[in-house]
With several copies, the nearest count.
Chain A
Amino acid sequence: MNGVHDLGGMHGFGPVEREEHEPLFHAAWEAHVRAVMTLSMGRKYFNIDAFRYGIERMAPADYLRATYFERWLASVEYNLIQQGLLTGDELDARVAFLRAHPGADPPRASGATSPPRAQEAPPEPPSPAAPRFAPGDAVVTRNVHPVGHTRLPRYARGKRGVIHLAHGPQTFPDTNAHGLGGQPQPLYNVRFEGRELWGDSTEPREAVHLDLWESYLESAPA
């Protein structure tokens, strides 16, 4: 999707601000969000692409206002609810309970957890055909604007590049994020000249490398 998360090339976000002696987390809840997210993914409640999509689909103003781990929390909630493992009402009720009982530790029954979830993945298609491109090939990215998840950023659409590396077949995020299976296809590292991406606004002698799936690419016309 063409979302505000697709930040490459945007103006208006100011200088890069660094924090001296930054702690690993700025608050305890951030570590908990990270733990809950990684454990949930490990138990296959959702996959990394669905997780990323859950962040991208946040309302644009919310995305920009939220901190990094607030976005994580939003996507964990969204995905667990989508999977039917939780309801928004349950969450709201539990928040209300915790607010009403500030000291209370809610039940943290330990031990028995249900077995990890076997995702009902649609059957994988036959293993992909031989890669269409090889290092050195000139390609042009497709000018597509899908409503769902994609990893072809806007700044690199409809642009010419050269295959730099062939990484071999990899899970396709555009389907995997939406419960349509991994459908692996060849992944390439593609090198773009700065001038191709940014025109006269480019800095001198710049190149950008992106990892792009085969279906994002076409052979460049000579």
Chain B
Amino acid sequence: MKYDPEQEPYVALRTKALESLLIEKGLLSAEAVDERISEYERDIGPLKGAKVVARAWIDPAFKARLLASGAAIAELGLPGGGNLVVVENTPTHHHMVVCTLCSCYPWTVLGLPPTWYKSFAYRSRAVREPRAVLREFGLELDEAVAVHVWDSSAEMRYMVLPERPAGTEGLTEEELAALVTRDAMIGVARVAAPAPSGAAAG
């Protein structure tokens, strides 16, 4: 999985060869390729997911609809909810997402996956020793907490609704969304409370 710069020239060449042949044959258009690549450059990563989480934190009725069906993200104007399932982390239940067979990922809400998510190490270990993996991510779970690993073996996509951290009562929806990380929505991290200024409570 590691990036090996020495291999690059040949692969880059071969990619260029493939693409140019497809364009020459009229199977793809150069414009479509360029447009697609510029879409990646505009990738906003997990921002959409963070908006979903923030809304669920402040709107219990939306949260209920969201947990019943990921399609509820359409209420926020977001596409891709048709095959989305949102699972909620609580003090007693922790959820995390993996794809052992390839690297399925809820990209419509989280953007492109990080390399670690696609790594052989994560794919092989997350289902067998999730607590050990979480520990490497700095997340130590109490033995009393149940761990649920969602192995994405079909076209359904899973996103974790992390716990709302204490000390965020006064925050706006936008401020809440800014706290939410990609890793928290994969289920390998908690959302940290806002740093100094927020008063701890609840």
Contacts and interface: CB of A to CB of B under 8 A. Distances in A.
Interface of A: 5-19, 22, 24-29, 31-36, 38-40, 43, 45, 48, 52, 55, 60, 64, 67-70, 73, 76-77, 80, 85-86, 90-91, 94-95, 97-99, 106-114, 145, 151-153, 155, 165, 167, 170-171, 173, 187, 189, 191, 197-198, 201, 203-213
B43 interface: yes
B65 interface: no
Nearest to A51: B102
A36 B147 contact: no
B151 A153 contact: yes
B114 A22 contact: yes
Contacts of B31: 110-111
A212 B150 CA distance: 12
A211 B103 CA distance: 14
A68 to B, nearest CB: 5
A64 B120 contact: yes
A123 to B, nearest CB: 22
B3 A201 contact: no
Contact of B100 (A7, A39, A165): A7
Contacts, number: 249
Contact of A9 (B27, B85, B127): B127
Contact of A210 (B85, B125, B146, B153): B153
A8 B144 contact: no
Contact of A13 (B102, B115, B118, B125): B125
A39 B36 contact: yes
Contact of A165 (B85, B102, B127): B85
B20 A9 contact: no
Interface in B48-100: 85, 100
A213 B136 CA distance: 33
B103 A68 contact: yes
A209 B151 contact: yes
A170 to B, nearest CB: 6
B116 A17 contact: yes
